Amino acid sequence: MDTSAFWHLIEKSRDESSRCEEQAERLVELLRNLNPEDIVEFKKHFSKCLDDSYRWDLWAVAYIVHGGCSDDSFEYFRCWLIGQGRRYFEAAQASPERAADNAVPGEYAQCEDLLYVANRAYEAVTGKEDMPRSKRSRAAEPAGVEWDEDKVEKLFPQLAKRFEYGDV
C-alpha cells in the first residue's frame, strides 16, 4: 500500500460517515477487504502520520481548541486530524492553525477509535490478535519549540479568540 492508497481509504471512510465512530467502523470494513500485508502497511502509514504530527505547535492548537490537552488527548486530536483527510492534514502540517479549521467550539476534535482500526481489521482477516510490530522508534518529545501553558494563547491569538481561550 502506498501513501495515495492510504489516504484514499481515510477519505472514503470520512466521506461515508458523519462521526468519528462511524468513520472508524467504515474504515475497518474497507480494511477487511485487503490482505494482511496491506493492513500492516496501512498501520505503518497511520503511525507515520501520528509521528509527523507530534509537534509542539500542533499541541498548542489542540490545547486552545479543547481548553487544555493531555498527552492522550493530543494523540486523539492527531487521529482526528488524520481522519480529516490528506489535504486537511497537510495544510495543518504546513500551517498549524489550520488544524482547527474543522473544529467546532465546545466539541472535542478527537477520534481515538481510529487508533485501533488496523488492529481490528487485521484480527478479522487473520484471526490473530497481534499485528507484526514496526521497528520504528518514536520521538520521546514533540518536535519544535515547547510553549508555556500560561502563554499558549499568544501563539495563535485569532484561534484563542475563536475558541474563547485565555485573555485574548
Q: What is the DSSP string of 88-118?
A: HHHHHHHSGGGGGTT--TTS----GGGGGHH
Cell of 68: 487544555
Over range 159-165, report the average pLDDT. Answer: 95
pLDDT value at residue 136: 65
Mean pLDDT for the stretch of residues 66-81 = 97
CA atoms within 13 A on the CB side of 13: 29
> Tell me, what's the pLDDT at 167?
75
Over the stretch 18-52, which tens digit does the pLDDT of each residue have? Answer: 999 999 999 999 999 999 999 999 999 999 999 99
pTM of the full structure: 0.95
**How confident is residue 87, by pLDDT bands cut at 50, 70 and 90?**
very high
Beta bridge partners, 55, equal 143
pLDDT at 102: 96
Residue 132 in grid coordinates? 507484526
Q: Tell me what pLDDT residue 166 has.
A: 83
DSSP string across the chain: --HHHHHHHHHHHHHT-SSHHHHHHHHHHHHTTS-HHHHHHHHHHHHHHHHHT-BHHHHHHHHHHHTS--HHHHHHHHHHHHHT-HHHHHHHHHSGGGGGTT--TTS----GGGGGHHHHHHHHHHS-SPPPPP-PPPPSS-BS----GGGGGGTSHHHHHHTT-TT-
Handedness of CA 91, 112, 63, 14 (dihedral sign): positive
